[in-house]
């Protein structure tokens, strides 16, 4: 593995990468999204959280996890006592894929070729941030980080390892999966999701 860049150099490289990604048209999503939604958080963050793609609010605001799924993530982070500013939060795909239903823009799962087109941005983020571990939120994030399809429901709460750099990756659900549930089902699912996330608590203690 190449020597780690200094924090200042890595931050400058990350900002340069973000500027390059702002004009990305490597797949059709670059032409329909309002803007590229880049990751945010400190270089050297012990833990990186990777989601699927921006949603409607993320696309409009230009920040990851600020919509309904982001609010649920914030609730989880509060209960875990993980300050968001100590995490690096990003997505496998940097543009919002959607379809119009009336005036509403409805989420569509990105195609494999779209995830593949965006993957070099994610890999560069990981290389520059250099987290100690990654939390993959959902199937798209799991595949993008691990490099192969992952049966999320069977392997949730478990650690896998990236071949490219040996980083451990915790597999769990995307918070949007919980939003589709109601009442007691959501409460039960949220508790199980917290249990998954707690497997990464040692990295936050070490940060």
- Over residues 166-200, the pLDDT tens digits come to 999 999 999 999 999 998 999 999 999 999 999 99
> Which pTM does this prediction carry?
0.95
Phi, psi of 170 (to 5 degrees): -85, 125
Per-residue confidence at 7, pLDDT binned at 50, 70, 90?
A: confident
d(CA 177, CA 196) in angstroms, rounded, equals 14
pLDDT at 79 over 50: yes
Q: Which domains does the chain have, with CATH numbers?
A: 8-206 (3.40.470.10)
Structure tokens at 22: 């702002």
d(CA 14, CA 8) in angstroms, rounded, equals 10
pLDDT at 4: 57
pLDDT at 2 over 60: no
Q: Region 61-87: what's the mean pLDDT?
A: 98
Per-residue confidence at 148, pLDDT binned at 50, 70, 90?
A: very high
Q: Region 87-95: what's the mean pLDDT?
A: 98
Give one DSSP letter per residue of the chain, joined into a string. Answer: -PPPPPHHHHHHHHHHHHHHHHT--SSTHHHHSSS----BS-TT-SEEEEES---HHHHHHT-SS-SHHHHHHHHHHHHHT--GGGSEEEESS-S--EEEETTEEEE-PPPHHHHHHHHHHHHHHHHHH--SEEEEESHHHHHHHHSS---HHHHTT-EEE-TTT--EEEEE--HHHHHT--HHHHHHHHHHHHHHHGGGHHHHHH-
């Amino acid at each position: 593995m190449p020597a780690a860049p200094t924090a200042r150099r890595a931050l400058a490289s990350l900002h340069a990468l973000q500027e390059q990604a702002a004009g990305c048209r490597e797949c059709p999503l670059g032409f329909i999204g309002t803007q590229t939604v880049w990751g945010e958080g400190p270089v050297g963050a012990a833990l990186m959280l990777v989601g699927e793609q921006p949603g409607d609010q993320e696309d409009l605001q230009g920040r990851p996890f600020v919509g309904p799924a982001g609010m649920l993530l914030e609730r989880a982070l509060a209960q875990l006592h993980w300050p968001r500013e100590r995490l690096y939060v990003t997505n496998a795909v940097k543009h919002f894929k959607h379809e119009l239903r009336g005036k509403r823009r409805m989420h569509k799962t990105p195609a494999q070729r779209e995830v593949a087109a965006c993957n070099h941005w994610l890999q560069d983020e990981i290389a520059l941030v250099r987290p100690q571990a990654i939390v993959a939120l959902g199937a798209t994030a799991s595949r993008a980080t691990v490099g192969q399809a992952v049966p999320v429901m069977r392997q949730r709460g478990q650690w896998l390892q990236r071949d490219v750099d040996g980083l451990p990756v915790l597999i769990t659900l995307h918070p949007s999966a919980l939003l589709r549930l109601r009442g007691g089902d959501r409460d039960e699912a949220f508790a199980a999701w917290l249990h998954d996330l707690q497997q990464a608590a040692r990295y936050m203690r070490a940060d």
